[in-house]
């Protein structure tokens, strides 16, 4: 049943795209409205609720004490996890994380890590012994497509709001007391595109994702770096070099607007 409804929806979307339109009347390079609400949990060290159109996720930051990796004795670490809560969609269920949720979490994680968004040496407490591991947990509340971008901006915002817990003289966490804010060195933001027919659309709805033949995501920073690519998509689609160039251009433009609006970057 569910499947048949999606098939009909997909047909409609594909036809509309052929006429250079989207069902919700957006331009191909136009995002849905975004709302961010921070400080949604007094138990989290930082948190953010994201509404991207009807897509909604909750992100919380918790920093815990850990030991450094052998090859990075003076660096702390981050860990991004994502749970596709069944609250958000009849297609989600509890259990081991799906490959989709793992992919999303890992793309967001690498996006922050490899872009060096944080100075990881500032997460070191005692070299070779004690570090902060900053957990970012993403929970879906409503799935209407493009969980990638909603998660990306939610994590960045929650991080930008997060404080490290205060430690006592024995380096034990003092509950509900906080130290300095985490400082962001860069603000990488992800932009996700899908291909429907020969058109490339930014910020797909769930219906557009299902109607698409391939997906492509790009993270960019304020200092003009591309920091992540991820091509995916369940159908038999591909991208040309020209299409990717077009996506890169849109991604830079869009990320700049979002950084201005939500992170006060000019």
Piece of 15-23, 29-37, 105-113, 254-262 that binds other proteins (CB under 8 A):
105-113
Asked if 71 contacts 87 with a C-beta cutoff of 8 angstroms, the reply is no
| Interface with other proteins in residues 170-199 (CB under 8 A) | 175-176
Rounded CA separation 200/172 (Å)? 51
| Interface with other proteins in residues 142-171 (CB under 8 A) | 142-144
Of the candidates 70, 93, 71, 73, the one whose C-alpha atom is nearest the C-alpha of residue 83 is: 93
| Interface with other proteins in residues 24-63 (CB under 8 A) | 40-45, 47, 54, 56, 58, 60-62
Nearer of residues 105 and 258 to other proteins, judged by Cβ: 105
Helices within 133-221 (DSSP H only): 147-161, 206-211
Asked if 209 contacts 215 with a C-beta cutoff of 8 angstroms, the reply is yes
Phi-psi region of 95 (alpha: psi -120 to 50; beta: other; left: phi over 0): left
For residue 64, the tally of other CB atoms under 10 A from its CB is: 13
In angstroms, give the least distance from the CB of 31 to other proteins: 18
Among positions 26, 116, 122, 130, the unique one binding other proteins when judged by CB under 8 A = 116
Nearer of residues 33 and 241 to other proteins, judged by Cβ: 241
Tracing tokens 């009849």 back to the chain, one arrives at: 90
In angstroms, give the least distance from the CB of 110 to other proteins: 5
Measured between alpha carbons, how far is residue 103 from residues 20, 84, 114, 123 in Å? Answer: 30, 12, 16, 25
In angstroms, give the least distance from the CB of 99 to other proteins: 4
Binding site for other proteins (CB under 8 A): 40-45, 47, 54, 56, 58, 60-62, 64, 81, 83, 85-90, 94, 97, 99-100, 102-103, 105-106, 110-111, 113-116, 135, 137, 139, 141-144, 175-176, 214, 216, 221, 224-241, 244, 248
């Amino acid at each position: 049943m569910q499947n048949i409804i999606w098939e009909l929806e997909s047909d409609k979307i594909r036809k509309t795209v052929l006429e250079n339109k989207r069902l919700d009347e957006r331009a191909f390079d136009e995002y849905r409205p975004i709302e961010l609400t921070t400080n949604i949990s007094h138990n989290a060290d930082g948190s953010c609720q994201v509404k991207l159109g009807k897509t909604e996720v909750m992100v919380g930051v918790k920093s815990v004490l850990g030991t450094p990796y052998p090859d990075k004795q003076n660096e702390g670490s981050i860990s991004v996890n994502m749970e596709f809560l069944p609250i958000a969609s009849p297609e989600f269920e509890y259990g081991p994380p799906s490959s989709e949720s793992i992919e999303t979490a890992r793309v967001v994680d690498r996006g922050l890590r490899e872009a060096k968004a944080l100075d990881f040496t500032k997460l070191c407490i005692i070299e070779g012994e004690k570090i902060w591991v900053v957990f970012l947990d993403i929970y879906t509340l409503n799935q209407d497509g493009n969980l990638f971008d909603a998660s990306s901006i939610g994590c960045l915002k929650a991080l930008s709001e997060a404080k490290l817990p205060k430690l006592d003289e024995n380096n034990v966490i003092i509950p509900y007391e906080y130290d300095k804010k985490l400082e962001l060195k860069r603000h990488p933001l992800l932009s996700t595109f899908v291909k429907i027919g020969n058109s490339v659309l930014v910020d797909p709805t769930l219906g557009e994702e299902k109607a698409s033949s391939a997906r492509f995501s790009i993270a960019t920073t304020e200092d003009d770096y591309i920091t992540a690519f991820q091509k995916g998509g369940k159908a038999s689609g591909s991208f040309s070099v020209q299409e990717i160039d077009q996506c890169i251009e849109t991604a830079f433009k869009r990320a700049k607007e979002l950084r201005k609006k939500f992170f006060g970057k000019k």
